[in-house]
Amino acid sequence: MLMSRRSYARGNLIDPAPNQAQLATVLQAAMTVPDHGNIKPWRFIVVQGQGIQDLSLLVQDKYAGSMSEQHLNAFVREIASTPMMIFVCSNLVLEHHVPVLDQQMAGAAACEHILLAAHALGFAGIWHSLEADDGLHRLLNLKTEDSVLGVLSIGTPKRTSRAKRKSFTEFTQTWDRKHGLQEWSP
């Protein structure tokens, strides 16, 4: 299952999205990630149905004038056609002994688990980042120190395809004291 997961562009995602029971399974899977201190420094904001339409209008207003009209219209259409979006936001505990970076990485792992769980249930998705400005902070009720770790778009793929994968050997080295870093050799 892990080897067949791939990202699908928002424009390639159609209804149905996970139903409430499936969504509960997906979000519960995210709660199983490695989490230094077991503090669960994230929260999930699910947007679907009319919320997607409302969000696409907010995006259109926010980016009007900062990108070409053609690009903006395509971006807004892509968002408006997305069956479900899950914002994974940090909810940092600053006074905790667990470093902020560890807390953010736990939230990023929650993003990954959401996509894997959705894939296991037959859905597809993609992970986008989003710069959280003051307006988005207010809209999502984020604390100043928090951020959007991932915007996960989820639905059913129009067409399925296999992703071309690079070999892990291109990204892996071994190390020992005697030889230092060396290229991977099975």
Exposed, middle or buried by CB within 10 Å (0-12, 13-18, 19+), for 186? exposed
- Binding-site residues sit at 5-7, 36, 127-129
CA atoms of 183 and 169, how far apart (whole Å): 8
Q: Strand, coil or helix: what is 178?
A: coil
DSSP symbols for 11-42: GGEESPPP-HHHHHHHHHHHTTS--TTS---E
Are the beta carbons of 35 and 84 closer than 8 angstroms? no
- Binding-site residues for FMN sit at 5-7, 36, 127-129
CA atoms of 95 and 134, how far apart (whole Å): 23
Q: What angle do CA 51, 149, 146 make, to 5 degrees?
A: 95
